[in-house]
Amino acid sequence: MDLFDKLQGRPGPLGEFTSDGYGYYTYPKLEGPLGPKMEFDGKDVIVWSINDYLGVGSNDEVKAYDEEIAKEYSLSSPMGARLMTGNTSEHEKLEEELADFVHKPDAFLLNYGYQGIMSVIHALVDRNDFLIYDELSHACIVDGKQLAMAEKYVFKHNDIESFEKQLERAHRNARPNSSILVVTEGAFGMTGDLGILEEMIALKEKYPFRLLVDDAHGVGTMGKDGSGTGTHLGCHEGIDLYFGTFAKAFALIGAFVATEERVVEFLKANVRSQIFAKSVPMPIVKSARKRLEMIRNNPEWREKLWENTNMLRNGLREIGYNVLPAECPVTPVLTKGSTDLCQLIMRKLREEHGVFVSGVTYPVVPKGTVLIRLIPTAAHTKEHIQQTLDGFEAIKDFALGSVSVEAQKKMTA
């Protein structure tokens, strides 16, 4: 059978949405300068779907600096992979500063977050090892698991009993040269809850293993100094490999893994996506250093982020919405309904109230469930929050299930 013909018969769970809903529900175009208010479909909207937690991406000082360094270096420099011709003092300084920021001995710069953690997982374990991961791990961890040659065990989300069972299983099946790598997230980006890091780390005394924490949503936002979820929970020392991305709080491309110096040395020689890929361009490296410096020197950004988060959540709860008990800024609103309801909520808020939100249904969440995820940032204002709450108030009858499915379909038509 022809490969291309076969592809038409298996569009995947998102296939129908990327065809019929292209440009609106999937691949929407948010245009104009990055910020809490942008243009969508020819209209100004308040945006709650961008992970620029600290407002760094719209900061005037950052934008001016980016323009200056892009003129100086261009996006071409340095050329080649770091292993060969793409290493510079700036890359090494950024790694030193990142390691210091997250309180680890050393760090390794990576081109991308998604690609980076896949490659790190792949490099760390071999066919004699065991890889144990949370069932709600991000797709990048799942794909990294697929690449890894180790035996894989999954535990129920944040369930310490399920986790310990998998540890017992791994130790029971271990050979003399077997090792165990556990992978979880610091802050889960869809549900907003934190990984049970303290409880997991406590089991190290009983079952030796190494812990890799993907803290994409926690770096820059969690902990008194922004150094992540481990710091926030008071168990950062128990994290063996700390993974952070620039795609959220830094509003940039790139990532890093911070750990012991001997492990960084190993990764430098074995992370294939870095060995065989062009080095991170100099303007991005310099901008990452600038953004890190500003994040460290402006703790009031985190304070504003949490002020806005609490105002939004409290307002939604007062209206009557079920806001999940998230522990990081991610604000998930859960209601009952179908894909039609999810689309209706998004369309009504965007078209009638100037509020851009993103929603998900099955298979991301269980059937019959709609999850609307809002991402507060330090750049949002009280006026933005109030307009958003007014919009949610206006649609609550059908969003909360007071309107029949038949009436909902008429609204969608």
| Sequence spans of domains, the chain | 3-54+299-412, 60-297
Give, in degrees to the nearest 5, the angle at Cα 393 between 355 and 18. 40
CB 184 within 8 A of CB 194: no
Q: What is the largest CA-CA distance in the chain?
A: 64
Per-residue pLDDT band for 404 (boundaries 50, 70, 90) equals very low
In the chain, pLDDT over 70 holds for what percent of residues? 96
Per-residue pLDDT band for 407 (boundaries 50, 70, 90) equals very low
Q: Which residue has the tokens 């017992």?
A: 168
Residue 35 has what DSSP assignment? S
Model confidence over 235-250: pLDDT tens digits?
999 999 999 999 999 9
Residue 12 has pLDDT above 80, yes or no: no
pLDDT of residue 263: 98
348-358: b (≥16 Cβ within 10 Å) or e: bbbeebbbbbb
Integer angstrom CA distances of residue 93 from 96, 198, 289, 305:
5, 31, 8, 28
What does the DSSP assignment read for 95-159? Answer: HHHHHHHTT-SEEEEES-HHHHHHHHHHHH--TTSEEEEETT--HHHHHHHHH--SEEEEE-TT-
Model confidence over 270-314: pLDDT tens digits?
999 999 999 999 999 999 999 999 999 999 999 999 999 999 999
SS3 65: helix
Residue 381 has pLDDT above 80, yes or no: yes
- Give domain 3-54+299-412's CATH superfamily: Aspartate Aminotransferase, domain 1 (3.90.1150.10)
Model confidence over 103-154: pLDDT tens digits?
999 999 999 999 999 999 999 999 999 999 999 999 999 999 999 999 999 9
Strands 369-374 and 358-360: antiparallel
Per-residue pLDDT band for 408 (boundaries 50, 70, 90) equals very low
Per-residue pLDDT band for 411 (boundaries 50, 70, 90) equals very low
Strands 130-134 and 151-155: parallel
CB 37 within 8 A of CB 384: yes
pLDDT of residue 73: 94
Average pLDDT across the chain, whole number: 93
What does the DSSP assignment read for 77-88? Answer: PSPS-TTTT---
Instruction: Identify which has the larger pLDDT, 163 or 15.
Output: 163
Residue 322 has pLDDT above 50, yes or no: yes
pLDDT of residue 5: 87
Per-residue pLDDT band for 172 (boundaries 50, 70, 90) equals very high
Q: Out of 3.40.640.10, 1.10.150.120, 3.30.930.10, 3.40.1000.10, which CATH number does the structure's domain 60-297 have?
A: 3.40.640.10
Which amino acid makes up residue 99? A
Residue 410 has pLDDT above 70, yes or no: no
110: left (phi over 0), alpha (psi -120 to 50) or beta: beta
Report helix angle 89-101 to 282-297, nearest 10.
30
pLDDT of residue 412: 36
Residue 101 has pLDDT above 50, yes or no: yes
What does the DSSP assignment read for 279-341? Answer: PPPHHHHHHHHHHHHHHHH-HHHHHHHHHHHHHHHHHHHHHT-EE---SSS-EEEEEE--HHH
- What tokens does 220 get? 């820059």
How far, in Å, CA of 10 to CA of 31, rounded? Answer: 32
For residue 124, which of 239, 237, 269 has the smallest C-alpha distance? 269
Per-residue pLDDT band for 78 (boundaries 50, 70, 90) equals very high
pLDDT of residue 413: 38
* Lowest-confidence pick of 28-37, 176-185, 402-411: 402-411
How far, in Å, CA of 257 to CA of 228, rounded? Answer: 13
Predicted TM-score (pTM) above 0.75: yes
Model confidence over 384-395: pLDDT tens digits?
999 999 999 999
Query: 83 φ, ψ to 5°?
Result: -60, -30
Residue 16 has pLDDT above 80, yes or no: no
pLDDT of residue 364: 78
Integer angstrom CA distances of residue 136 from 66, 74, 289:
36, 39, 32
pLDDT of residue 32: 96
